[in-house]
Amino acid sequence: MFGFKLNPVATKTGGTSKVSGRPIYLDMQATTPMDPRVLDRMLPFLTEQYGNPHSRTHAYGWEAEGAVDEARQHVADLIGANEKDIVFTSGATESNNMIIKGIAKFHQSKRKHIITTQTEHKCVLDSCRYLQSQGFEVTYLPVLPNGLVSLSELRAALRPDTSLVSIMAVNNEIGVIQPLKEISETLKSWAKENGVPKPYFHTDAAQAVGKIPINVDEMGIDVMSISAHKIYGPKGIGAAYVRRRPRVRLEPLIHGGGQERGLRSGTVPAPLVVGLGEACRIAKREMAADHARVSELSQRLIDGITKNVAEIVRNGDPKGYPGCVNLSFAYVEGESLLMALKDIALSSGSACTSASLEPSYVLRALGAAEDMAHSSLRFGIGRFTTEAEIDLVVERITQVVTRLREMSPLWEMVQEGIDISKIEWSQH
């Protein structure tokens, strides 16, 4: 395929696996490789069909506009929406900012309360903190030890002045799938019982769309955020689902030519939009097959590691999205673990916070001990991951964890039967 290379397959040399060339890629929550079919669909709009989709007076504009309309329909079809409800943005971060700040500011005269969870993506949490600096009140709901939100705690947090509830569909660090339909029904029933307007329900679905079935009408979702590069599309493009009936009212972040229903001004980048549309079309057609294959590879990874390595904790709900596996390795320092696995592209949490040496705030919200949060690895499995790569990763993890534990005095004490939790360490 044009410009596309699969990851190198593991080779055996003297009984030991190794990788030739680039590392094995298991960081699909950070980004996914572009599907070659997406690139093929985009290429004409990067070369000869370069018209501005807002130019209505000639064929160049018409053909670009037609391609954008077709892509909008593909996005809508994937989530069970009307194509007129789709607003193109630069990605999920912009969509989240636009939706959260836009709804809050439009309704600020009467409703200045927002509810979200402690395990949201940083762009949601930072948008909420910005609103707090502007005089809004935000409730950050805790989550259960498996990462799920408590519906009873959500109901208890609702207030007559709550304008928005924002809860992520699939968590980017632990893969937990939130009960979106049940959350929406909770908001509806609470509003009816109290005789007040229902808060808008927003979900950051960047890690969910194209991977698990999403239907905005069936799930009662009012606004939603989508990102192309999480579903084998190009970077720099995403979408916001903004329900028109009943209408969601929000203030735009970007003003200008009034494109995208006036919610997101600026020339729509036709090649990127075409890529997003094609990625959504493929995802809808192949979602079941992708999910089944990713599930098999995920189980192969978990079984292989747990068979060979003791003292492992799986973080999050085991019933979550199988392509996101988060494991903590006791008595191993996380940074040393990552440094020793340079032939495998992994992360210890969100790509947006991986530069920090602080343990994952998501794992801490689950109640994980700080040392276990520090020693966690996130394995992202996707459409192009192979069995050979999974087998090599299992072998490398086994080798590295065993070696690091052999150098750990804590591991030695545990092997001798000492309960290190009861040790009184001297202070210096």
Rounded Cα distance, 355 and 31, in Å? 16
Cα atoms found within 13 Å of the Cα of residue 234, Cβ hemisphere only: 22
Beta-bridged to residue 288, according to DSSP, are none
Both structure tokens of 112: 């200045």
DSSP 8-state assignment for residue 251: -
* Burial grade of 156 (CB within 10 A; 0-12, 13-18, 19 or more): exposed
280 is catalytic: no
Cβ density class 370-403: b for 16+ within 10 Å, e for less:
eebbbbbbbbbbbbbbeeebbebbbbbbebbbee
What is the chain's alpha carbon radius of gyration, rounded to the nearest angstrom? 23
The Cα angle at residue 271 between residues 81 and 30, in degrees rounded to 5: 70
How far from 56 is each of 61, 64, 65, 218, 256, CA to CA, in Å? Answer: 6, 10, 9, 36, 18
Residue found by looking up tokens 């008595």 in the block: 331
Q: Are strands 16-18 and 137-141 parallel, antiparallel or unpaired?
A: unpaired
Q: Which of 128, 280, 324, 352 is catalytic?
A: 352
For strands 16-18 and 24-25, give the pairing: unpaired
- Specify whether the CB–CB gap between 79 and 130 falls below 8 A: no
The CA-based diameter of the chain, rounded to the nearest angstrom, is 81
Which residues, in sequence order, are CB contacts of 109 under 8 Å at separation 6+? Answer: none
Distance CA(186)–CA(188), nearest Å, equals 5
Catalytic residues: 352
